[in-house]
Amino acid sequence: MDSSDDESGEEYLFKIVIIGDSAVGKSNLLTRYARNEFNLHSKATIGVEFQTQTLEIDGKEVKAQIWDTAGQERFRAVTSAYYRGAFGALVVYDISRRTTFDSIPRWLDELKTHSDTTVARMLVGNKCDLDNIRAVSVEEGKSLAESEGMFFMETSALDATNVNKAFEMVIREIYNSVSRKVL
């Protein structure tokens, strides 16, 4: 994490990663949050991309650099560099696809293996607009999150339900837990 002083006060910058199986909606969660856009037929390009969002907390400018795997996970090849330096993570499944929920423990293991610090983690059940074809109950999501000591939220990148809330909760948690500043 970086922090520096300037005329407008302190600034913070930290990295957040979004992980989860292919097509759970990671890219769309990010574009919904960063640009308030949604793509029905988005096709991820290979590589790593990030967007920076600024939030004001306690009169301080807090910048979150939010990284998207941009399709790397299709080849089971999310590299350790992707995780390096992350202070927060959104771990995403699709509430209409059971297999994506079953993969969560594997993603949590991977995050743990590659992270070098305590990571503020949120379990995200995306596509809650697809309630009519739901394959994972809210209770199951909640209970997994509780057992792992993570936050939990169901979101929809399509209709924007809880998207800002989810990112901002993670950003605030990181901000609150940072007790020392690194220049």
What's the token pair of residue 160? 């924007």
Using CB under 6 A as the binding rule, whether residue 25 contacts ligand GDP is answered as yes
48, 68 in Cβ contact below 8 A? yes
Residue 57, SS3 per DSSP: strand
Using CB under 6 A as the binding rule, whether residue 42 contacts ligand GDP is answered as yes
Distance CA(93)–CA(124), nearest Å, equals 6
Residue 145, SS3 per DSSP: helix
**Cα first-last separation, the chain:** 8
To which H or E segment does residue 153 belong?
Answer: strand 151-154
Choose the stretch contacting ligand GDP; rule: CB under 6 A; options: 111-119, 144-152, 153-161, 173-181.
153-161
Of 19, 24, 122, 136, the residue at the interface with ligand GDP (CB under 6 A) is 24
Distance CA(146)–CA(149), nearest Å, equals 5
Of 14, 19, 27, 154, the residue at the interface with ligand GDP (CB under 6 A) is 27
Choose the stretch contacting ligand GDP; rule: CB under 6 A; options: 33-41, 50-58, 81-89, 105-113.
33-41
Of 1, 158, 169, 178, the residue at the interface with ligand GDP (CB under 6 A) is 158
Of 91, 156, 170, 171, the residue at the interface with ligand GDP (CB under 6 A) is 156
Residues near ligand GDP (CB under 6 A) are 22-28, 39-42, 44, 126-127, 129-130, 156-158
